Amino acid sequence: MAADVTAQGCQRARASRSNVPVNDQLKIANAESFILSRESKEIMKTIQVKQVGGPEAMEVVELPVPHPKANEAVVKLAASGVNFIDVYVREGRYKAPLPVTPGQEGAGAVTAVGADVKSVKVGDRVAWTSVQGSYTEYAAIPADRLVPIPQGVSDQQAAAAMLQGMTAHYLAHDTYPLKKGETTLIHAAAGGVGLLLVQMAHNIGARVIATVSTDEKAKLARGAGAHEVILYTQADFEAETKRLTSGKGVDVVYDSVGKTTFEKGLNILRQRGMMVLFGGSSGAVPPFDLIALSQKGSLYVTRPTLINYIATREELVARSSAVFGMMAAGKLKLRIEYTYPLAEAQRAHRDLEGRKTTGKLLLIP
């Protein structure tokens, strides 16, 4: 409507221009040019961090909608996932050139494609992860990093499943491939990755010991398939795990907490067990002497990250398809707890860091 009114105003100005002095005609022409140039430049809202810091470091800014490079597609976002890696980028723990737009995953519809793009077309529903900059209304994404969203999976579900779903998948199937009858301890079991990892481990046939902070989160972990749940706020998880395993220890610990759980986690591993440290919500693990691994039973420690498990397009498509397939078959249930308007990214981060949430958080542009 506004564009129509503007166009009608320009037409009336042109029609009456013959009766206007030359200088005034020039002013009218310049005004028309300004109006039309503003209309032709699409503007979007995006979140930027100009100086690293707390949640308040994120601010809403307006930028031109991006144009795709030859190998890119522009996607109008329907949802953006909120993850701890976004916190690490915002804090400066993970270095990124400033200003930076947080966000590592999203889903939506393609609105434009570059000249060399053959894998997607305008109108396709797509999702992605491990590409920086999804806290925005439009994003230009390398086309080979986009995966199709299958029928039966919503845009919000796809955005919620990409980073956390594929993280849970590589942890349980590749980093330490769990087997039926093995025992695992999963920290933060009611969190976004935790609930999905518990389900996958349970479906494999492993015994799952989960740690959580509250009774409410304990119910969620049990509902996802945990066989035993330890409230670490009420009991020492090291002593409880040793009791539950009759002193034998677990085959693998999946730890996204880090600083406050790492050392005790090593103490509950069986001989030649593996510590999988895939996050640090309580802070970074301090340096330690590797000789401790031999003293505690020739243990293994790994610090994986998703990008190395979706390095090729073939692996990305296979892993995302596996996760979407589990969802479609009812074997993997997502818990999208909160959705926030894009402008409330600060609140989303405060809730995430305050351990006030379970399951997945999404921003809706």
User: pLDDT tens, 134-173?
Assistant: 999 999 999 999 999 999 899 999 999 999 999 999 999 9
pLDDT at 21 over 60: no
3-state secondary structure of 135: coil
What is the token pair recorded at 55?
Answer: 């949640």
* CB 362 within 8 Å of CB 337: no
Phi/psi at 209 (nearest 5 deg)? -105, 125
Classify the phi-psi angles of 363: left when phi > 0, otherwise alpha if psi is within -120 to 50, otherwise beta. Answer: beta
Distances in whole angstroms, Cα of residue 206 to Cα of each of 156, 183, 191, 284: 29, 6, 19, 29
User: Rounded to an integer, what distance in angstroms lies between the CA atom of residue 262 and that of residue 276?
Assistant: 10
Show Cβ contacts of residue 58 under 8 Å, excluding neighbours closer than 6 positions: 47, 48, 49, 90, 102, 135, 345, 346, 349
* CB 212 within 8 Å of CB 185: no
pLDDT at 6 over 80: no
Instruction: Give the distance from CA 161 to its chain's centroid.
Output: 8
pLDDT bracket for residue 15 (50, 70, 90): very low
> Per mean pLDDT, which of 6-10, 16-20, 60-64 is the most reliable?
60-64
In percent, how much of the chain has pLDDT > 90? Answer: 83
Q: What share of the chain is helix, strand, coil (3-state, %, to 5)?
A: 40, 25, 35
Phi/psi at 218 (nearest 5 deg)? -65, -40
pLDDT bracket for residue 358 (50, 70, 90): confident
Residue with tokens 């481990």: 201
pTM score of the predicted model: 0.83
What is the token pair recorded at 87?
Answer: 């916190």
User: Rounded to an integer, what distance in angstroms lies between the CA atom of residue 219 and that of residue 216?
Assistant: 5
pLDDT at 24: 52
